[in-house]
Amino acid sequence: MRMAWATDIHLNFLEHHARALFFQSIIDCQPDVVCVTGDIAETPSLIFHLHEMEHALRRPLYVVLGNHDFYFGSIEKVRLMVQEWCQQHAGLTYLSDKKSVELTPRTVLVGVDGWGDGRYGEYWESPVRLNDQACIEDFRGLDREGVLRKLHCLGDEAAESLFERLPSVMSSYRQVLVATHVPPFKEACWYEGKTGNNDWLPYFTCKAVGEVLLEMAQRHASCQVIVLCGHTHHAGSVQILPNLKVLTGSAEYGQPRIEHIFQIE
Ligand SMILES: [Fe+2]
Ligand SMILES: [Fe+2]
């Protein structure tokens, strides 16, 4: 089983021809399935891009959504829209809406959108303001405290969803791939070969998801967990525990690419 992984492909920044070339580059690698860890497009064109990509690839496409996918929309409505679309299109799976997907008898794929939850770094001192706060309905009109509460809430929601789903899959499979948009540890928040910038960490790590992953990996020591994430657009990998590894994918606007092809047993 070969799985192609890409992240932060931001298809809305590409012309039709460039998108077709990207899809062909994936097909040329002959994967059995494809996984994309968020920032696929923006709300107004998201379904169009998901549909076009699924149609072009002609093999199962598994996705989670990133912050950009909610731009010019609201989080709940976009999630519902993608859930409904995926329920009618067998080739496309929204992993956040599915307990898990068996890839092989020993490996399972689980996914959750994830969100920078404001808990690492220095939220109150940080001069960073993401476009999220202007472009996603849920953040409009919130003051700094309201934004932080919302970030906590989104992080907790992702963590709870994993907390419910991981125990049974980790008892049944030897390897779990966890697809999520936001790095769950500060050690996985890469930028130009370094990690852990206090100004960016609040928006670029999901501590709540990291805590669930740590607890689950410790509880199920015989199960290998590999986390696939993006969002920082800078690549790196870190071994958090002997059985918990996080791969953060790179990205460049206008130049989507495959981050890695996994050979899965
Ligand atoms: Fe991105
Ligand atoms: Fe992102």
pLDDT per position as a tens digit, 42-51: 999 999 999 9
pLDDT value, residue 196: 80
Q: Tell me how far the alpha carbon of residue 64 lies from the centroid of ligand 1, in angstroms.
A: 12
Q: In whole angstroms, give the CA distance from residue 66 to residue 53.
A: 17
User: Is residue 234 a contact partner of residue 190, using CB atoms and an 8 Å limit?
Assistant: yes
Domain with 149 in it: 2-263
Please compute the mean of the pLDDT values over residues 231-248 and round it to a whole number: 97
Q: Tell me how far the alpha carbon of residue 201 lies from the centroid of ligand 2, in angstroms.
A: 13
Q: In whole angstroms, give the CA distance from residue 210 to residue 114.
A: 10
CA 237 to chain centre: 15
Q: Tell me how far the alpha carbon of residue 16 lies from the centroid of ligand 1, in angstroms.
A: 20
Q: Tell me how far the alpha carbon of residue 16 lies from the centroid of ligand 2, in angstroms.
A: 22
Using a pLDDT cut of 70, give the percent of the chain over it. 100
Please compute the mean of the pLDDT values over residues 199-209 and round it to a whole number: 97
Q: Tell me how far the alpha carbon of residue 36 lies from the centroid of ligand 1, in angstroms.
A: 11
Domain count, the chain: 1
Task: Tell me which residue of 32, 30, 29, 66 sits closest to 49, measured CA to CA.
Answer: 66
pLDDT value at 192 more than 90: no
Q: Tell me how far the alpha carbon of residue 213 lies from the centroid of ligand 1, in angstroms.
A: 22
The token pair at 55 is 């149609």
Q: What is the CATH number of the domain that holds 253?
A: 3.60.21.10
pLDDT per position as a tens digit, 82-138: 999 999 999 999 999 999 999 999 999 999 999 999 999 999 999 999 999 999 999
pLDDT value, residue 110: 98
pLDDT value at 38 more than 90: yes
pLDDT value, residue 229: 98
Q: Which is higher by pLDDT, 203 or 195?
A: 203
Using a pLDDT cut of 90, give the percent of the chain over it. 97
pLDDT value, residue 250: 96
Q: What are the CA-CA distances from residue 140 to residues 92, 132, 143, 169, 174 (Å)?
A: 31, 9, 9, 38, 43
pLDDT per position as a tens digit, 109-120: 999 999 999 999
pLDDT per position as a tens digit, 210-230: 999 999 999 999 999 999 999
Q: In whole angstroms, give the CA distance from residue 259 to residue 165.
A: 26
The token pair at 154 is 């989104």
